[in-house]
Amino acid sequence: MPENIVIEQEIKSEIRKIKSRLGFDVHISDELGNTLQKITVPDTVGRTFHIYMDRLDFKNEELNDMLVQFIEFRIQHYMPSTILSNIKAFYPFVKVYHETNKDDFDNTELFISHVLERTISLEVEKGNQRVKEPLIIFYKHCIIHEIIGFNLDYYYDSLFERRASGRNAYQRVLQYDPELGPYVDSEIALINEKLIKNEKIPIETRTLLSIYKTFGLRPIQVALLRETDFFYDEILDEYYLNIPRVKQNHFRRRDEFTKREVPDEIVVLIKDLIKINKQQYPDAPVEIRPIFFRTLYTNIHINNKSNTPYFYHRLAKHFEHVMKDACKEYLPISPRTGEFLNLTAYRFRYTVGTQAVLDGKSETEVMALLDHSNPGSVKHYFKLTHEFGDVLNELTNSRVEQKSFVAAWSKKDDVKGNIYTTDIIDSETETLLGGCHLTTECNYEPGVGCYGCGDFVPSRNKTAHTRAKNVIENRINEIKDNSTGHTPNQLTTALYGAEAAIDYSSNPRKKEK
C-alpha cells in the first residue's frame, strides 16, 4: 500500500464549484469530492439560499448522483428563488421514500411511482401546488439516465403533459436539450479534434473521453475497469475490453462482463496510459491494477481494509469534474448553440443510444450495445428520439423561415430571393448535386461533406444523387478496414444524405396553390 498521499494540485482540481445564473461561485463538493452537507446559493440583494443535502440522501448512490446533477443544472440556469422552490419538493419526496417499505411492492418501478404519487398527494393537501413539476422533471431526468425504477410508460401515461407550442418550444426541440441531451455529429467531431487528439490534455482524460464516446459507458463501469480487462486476441488479431456489467446496489462487483472490440485509436491511448501508470504506481498488484488510478488518498481510506480490492480505483463520482477541469482551457464552442460544450458521461451514453436508434437498430440491439438486460431500460431512446422528429417537423412547418427553406428545396429555380445560388458539382461524377448559399471558403468535399451540411440543398437530379451514392459506398468499402477516425462517420452521414436526396428527387412536393 502507498503511504498517505495528498497531492495539493489534485485536491485543488477536485474542489467542485460552479457558476450560478447570477455569476456567483457556488461550492458543491469538498476537497475529497464529497457533496457538501449544505450548499449556499447567493442572491444579488445580499440574501443567501441554502440547500440541505443531508436531508436529500436516498442512501442510493445513483439516485444521489442524479439529484446532485439536477441541482447543479438548476443553479446554473435558474434564479435562486426558483431553485429554492424546486428543491423544497425533494425534502418530502426523500422523506416518503425512506418511510415506504420497498418489500410491499413487486418491483422498484411500482415503489418509485407510489413514492412520487404519495408525495404529491400529501403536499397538495397542505396547499403546496408547486411540488409536482420539479419531481416530474426529475423523474424524466432519471429515465434518460437509465436509473432503475423510473418507467417511461408510466411517465407518458400518468405524468407527461404536452406544453410544446410556439417559438420557445421550437427552440427547445431544435436544440434537443443542448446541456444534457445527446451530442450532434459536429459536436462529436469537435470533441475528437479539440480534446481527444489534443496532447496538451492529460492522456488519462483523453482515454476517458474516447471510451465514453465509443462505448457510452456509465462512470461506475469505467471506474471498475482494470488493466487485465484490456487484452489482445492473437487468433482474431484484435484488442478487446472486458467491460464490467453493473447492476443497481452492486456497484463494487466485477462478476459479469461484456466483451467489446477496441478501436485502434483507443488501443494506443490505453497502452500509453498503462505504461504511465506502471511508472507512477509500480507497487500496485497486477490483479487489482485499474486503468484509471485514484490520485487522492486519505488515512481513513488506507486503513479501510474492506476496500482493498478497489483501493487504487478512482471513484466514479470524481470522473466528471476531473474531466471538466482537464478540458476547461480547450473546451470548444458548439456550432449548434454558440456556447461551450457541456461534457458529461451520460451525454455520451445518450448519444450512442440515440445514434443507434437513428441507424435503425432494434431494441434488442440497443440493449446489447448499452449492456442492458431489460428492454424497458432502452425504450426511452426509441420514444424520445422518434417523438423529437415528429414534434420538430410539426413545429418547423409553421415557421416562416422553415416555409421558405422548404420552398427552396421544392422550387429552387423560381423562388424569389433564393439563397442557394452556388452550384455544387461532384468532381468524380461531374454532375450537378445541388446548390449552396455559403459565400465563404468551404473545405468540404463535394459529394461527401455537402450531403451532411445544412447549407446545401439537393437538386432534382435523381441520377446524379444515385451516382454520388455509389461513389460514397465505394469509398466506405475502401477505408472500412483501415480507418477508425472521423472519416467513416462523415462518409456514413453523407451516404444517408445521398439516400435522402434520392428519395427527395423521387417524390417531388406538390406546388402550393
- φ, ψ at 262 (rounded to 5°): -105, 125
Q: Which of 1-5, 442-446, 475-479 has the lowest mean pLDDT?
A: 1-5
- The stretch 1-14 carries a mean pLDDT of 41
The DSSP symbol for 92 reads H
pLDDT at residue 213 in the model: 95
Pick 363 or 88 by higher pLDDT: 88
pLDDT at residue 491 in the model: 67
Q: Which of 275-279, 410-414, 472-476 has the highest mean pLDDT?
A: 275-279
Pick 283 or 493 by higher pLDDT: 283
> Model confidence over 422-456: pLDDT tens digits?
555 555 555 566 666 554 445 455 555 666 565 56
* Residue 324: pLDDT over 50: yes
> Model confidence over 283-314: pLDDT tens digits?
889 999 999 998 765 444 545 544 478 888 88
Three-class DSSP category at 237: coil
> Model confidence over 59-118: pLDDT tens digits?
888 788 889 988 988 898 888 888 888 899 999 999 999 999 999 999 888 999 999 999
Instruction: Supply 261's cell numbers.
Output: 472490440
pLDDT at residue 449 in the model: 60
pLDDT at residue 273 in the model: 96
* Residue 145: pLDDT over 60: yes
Per-position DSSP letters for 133-184, written without gaps between them: HHHHHHHHHHHHTT-TT--HHHIIIII------HHHHHHHHHHT-TTTSPPP
**Rg of the chain in Å (alpha carbons):** 25
Decide the pairing of beta strands 422-426 and 431-436: antiparallel
pLDDT at residue 168 in the model: 40
Pick 357 or 269 by higher pLDDT: 269
pLDDT at residue 462 in the model: 80
Rounded distance between C-alpha atoms, residue 364 and residue 352, angstroms: 15
Pick 459 or 69 by higher pLDDT: 69
The DSSP symbol for 191 reads I
Rounded distance between C-alpha atoms, residue 135 and residue 133, angstroms: 5
pLDDT at residue 412 in the model: 40
The count of other CB atoms within 10 Å of the CB of residue 438 is 14
pLDDT at residue 488 in the model: 56
The model's confidence at residue 407, banded by pLDDT at 50, 70 and 90, is very low
* Residue 170: pLDDT over 50: no
pLDDT at residue 74 in the model: 87
The model's confidence at residue 237, banded by pLDDT at 50, 70 and 90, is very high
The model's confidence at residue 50, banded by pLDDT at 50, 70 and 90, is very high
Contact 446, 433 (CB under 8 A): yes
Sketch the domain layout of the chain as residue ranges: 8-164, 199-329, 409-506
The count of other CB atoms within 10 Å of the CB of residue 60 is 16
- The stretch 119-146 carries a mean pLDDT of 87
Nearest to 294 by CA among 277, 272, 315: 315
* Residue 415: pLDDT over 80: no
> Model confidence over 208-234: pLDDT tens digits?
999 999 999 988 899 999 999 999 999
Nearest to 13 by CA among 414, 396, 327, 436: 327
Three-class DSSP category at 480: coil
Cα 425 to Cα 418, 458, 502: the distances in Å are: 19, 11, 16
pLDDT at residue 100 in the model: 95
* Residue 127: pLDDT over 50: yes
Percent of the chain with pLDDT over 90: 27
pLDDT at residue 7 in the model: 36
Contact 455, 436 (CB under 8 A): yes
Separation of CA 500 from chain center: 27
The count of other CB atoms within 10 Å of the CB of residue 278 is 12
- The stretch 353-380 carries a mean pLDDT of 80
* Residue 409: pLDDT over 60: no
Q: Which of 87-96, 329-338, 498-507 has the highest mean pLDDT?
A: 87-96
Rounded distance between C-alpha atoms, residue 345 and residue 351, angstroms: 10
| Mean per-residue pLDDT over the chain, rounded | 76
CATH number for the domain formed by residue range(s) 199-329:
1.10.443.10
Sheet bearing 431-436, strands edge to edge = 422-426, 431-436, 456-458
* Residue 380: pLDDT over 80: no
pLDDT at residue 364 in the model: 84
Q: Which of 114-123, 136-145, 399-408, 444-453 has the highest mean pLDDT?
A: 114-123
